[in-house]
Amino acid sequence: MKAVTFEGPFNVAVSDVDDPTIREPGDVILRVTSSAICGSDLHAYNGRIPTPVSGWVMGHEYVGEVVEVGADVEGLRPGERVVGGPYASCGECFYCRRNWPSQCMYQQHFGYGMLPGAQAEYLRVPYARTTLEKLPDSLPDERAILVGDVLSTGYFAVERGEVRAGDVVVVVGCGPVGLCAQMCALLFEPKVVIAIDSVPERLEMARKIGALPVDMSEGDPGAVIREHTERRGADVVIEAVGHQDALRSCFQHVRPGGAISAVGVYSEAEFPFPMFKAYLHDLTFRIGACPVKNYLAKLLDLIERGKLDPTVILTHTLPLAEAPHGYDIFAGHKDSCVKVLLRP
């Protein structure tokens, strides 16, 4: 089959690789109908995470059709359409039983050299029963695919920030996760969602979603935040960039007694935490990777009912063969690219 393979920093190729086969009784083989390129894929693409091997298949955001099921897979049949998260989780370990699949003891990530990824014609999904969610026919791929990672992560960020009606919410970053967090925050009837970035097209998209865009390259976002909060600072600040400077700014934007919810993926191992300020101001600080599976059904329902429309962030749809171009424009913010969908 054809698949997108990592060939070294800033180099992906569309290669011929072996078709996946059922290996464990809990496996399912999907024919991938859509696969997206994620900001986390760029950590590998940009050479920011150690990648000792090349030639592995990339990608972890997907919608597909079941073509084959293992002997132990109940409730999934060939022909059914499904969406799934960026990692397979067992459903039975200590963490899975406590609804925390992102800490599954037997977790397997797609697309980072461990499990072959989803930017391919076919995908093997271990623990299929607890990793995948069925899709209703009423939801086309482009409306469903983002629940598998960035939309769930946006919702998780909002939930962990405990956004309440009337709150002033700041979202640092207008990439796919930031825009999804803005969309999800608006479900909770905040007073305003202030969206910070410096890329004009992304700020424009934040405005379309219903947030108040603030261009940090044109002035201090703190002035806008103070203006909307009687100078207190924001009730909730969401970090959706994955960079120390962005995280540091959250501590400037949050009010005493407020919450910071960080979901950006960091490449730095450590961060100088402002302990004295956090103590004096009774701050809540939460950080983590989203337990995606917990949000799939809930978000699909909100999309079906018209409460959420993540398709607004999909700027480019390309055939799988053009994946290298997709990575190039996404990584370089070229051609107003926010999110790329690949069609194998």
Do residues 234 and 225 lie in contact, with contact meaning Cβ atoms separated by under 8 Å?
yes
Tokens of 174: 């207008």
H helix or E strand, kind and range, residue 218: none
CB of 44 to Zn ion, least distance (A): 11
**Residue 266 gets which letter from DSSP?**
P
User: Strand, coil or helix: what is 9?
Assistant: coil
Which CB sits closer to Zn ion, 274 or 288? 288
Nearer to Zn ion, 81 or 339 (CB): 339
CB of 325 closer than 8 Å to CB of 306: no
Going by C-alpha positions, the residue among 259, 258, 239 that lies closest to residue 248 is 239
Of 61 and 197, the one with the shorter C-beta distance to Zn ion is 61
Instruction: Give me the least distance between CB of 37 and Zn ion, in Å please.
Output: 9
Residue 284's region, left for phi above 0, alpha for psi from -120 to 50, else beta, is: beta
Question: For 297, which DSSP code?
Answer: H
CA–CA distances in Å: residue 305 to residues 283, 293, 298, 301, 308: 35, 20, 11, 6, 8
Q: Which is nearer to Zn ion, 109 or 228 (CB)?
A: 109
Minimum CB–partner distance for residue 26 and Zn ion (Å): 12
Asked if 181 contacts 263 with a C-beta cutoff of 8 angstroms, the reply is yes
- Residue nearer to Zn ion on the CB measure, 1 or 93: 93
End-to-end CA separation in angstroms for the chain: 10
Element (H, E) at 132: strand 132-134
38 or 241: CB nearest Zn ion: 38
Per CB under 5 A, residues contacting Zn ion are 38, 40, 61, 89-90, 93, 96, 104, 149
Nearest approach in angstroms of CB 48 to Zn ion is 15
**Nearest approach, Cβ of 103 to Zn ion (angstroms)?**
8
Rounded to the nearest whole angstrom, what is the least distance from the CB of residue 176 to Zn ion in the complex?
Answer: 8
